[in-house]
Chain A
C-alpha cells in the first residue's frame, strides 16, 4: 500500500517536473519493484493515465492550450492505433513486451540526456533566456 502510493507520487512528481508521462515510471516500478506481471502493469498504467490526463487536459483547455480540431482528428486515428497496439500486446509474451519497453526506455533516456536534441530542451533554453 505504502510502496504503491510512493510509486504514484514519484510518477506524478516526475511527469509534472519533466513532461514525461507517468507510464514510463509506473510500468517499470510495478514490474521490477512490485513484481506485477508485464501485461497487468501496462493495463494498470493506462487506467491511471486516464484520470491524470483528463485533469491535465481540462486545465490546459481552460487556458486555451488545446487545439480541438487537431485533438479530434489525431484522436480518431490514435484510438484505432491504441486498439491495434493493445491487441498486439495481449498476443505477445511478457518477454517481448519487456524487450520493447526496455528499448523505449533507452530511447527516452538518451533523449533526456540530450544525446538527440529534443523539443523540450529547446523550450527550456527559451524559457531560461527570457528569465535571464
Chain B
C-alpha cells in the first residue's frame, strides 16, 4: 500500500511539475527514486530519463493543442543541445564539477530573481 502511494505521489508530482513548467522533472523523480524506492543514483538517473520521455511527450502534445509551440525554434535549439550534450559528456571529467556547480547555482538564483521580477512587473502593469 505504501509503495502504491509512493508511485502515485511521485509520478503525479513529477508530471505536474514538468507539464506546469515545461521542464523534465528529474529534480523530483531522481531523489524520490533514490530515497523512497531505493534505486542507485545511476539507475535512478537512467530511469528518470525514460519517464521524462513519456511525460514530456504527453505535456508537449497538450501545449501543441493550444498552439503554444514553435517547431522551428525547437529544431534550432535541439541541434544546439545535441552538440552541447556531446561536449558536456567529453568535458565531464576535465572540469572542477563542484566549483562549476556552485557558479551555475548562483547564476540560476539570479535568473530566478529576474524571472520573478518580470512576472511581478507583469502583474503591476497588467500587460499580458
Q: Interface on A for B, CB 8 Å cutoff?
A: 1, 4-24, 26-28, 30-32, 34, 36-37, 39-57, 60-61, 63, 65-68, 70-71, 73-90, 93-106, 108-114, 118-121, 123-124
Contacts and interface: CB of A to CB of B under 8 A. Distances in A.
A82 B97 contact: no
B51 A75 contact: yes
B84 to A, nearest CB: 2
Specify the main secondary structure of chain B where it touches its partner.
helix
Contacts of B86: 12, 16
Nearest 4 CB-CB pairings of A with B: A8-B80, A16-B88, A81-B15, A12-B84
B97 to A, nearest CB: 6
A70 B37 contact: yes
Given A12-B80, A45-B22, A17 B15 contact: no
B109 A94 contact: no
B50 A71 contact: yes
A77 B54 CA distance: 10
Contact of A57 (B49, B83, B101): B49
B50 A104 contact: no
Nearest to B127: A95
A46 B25 CA distance: 11
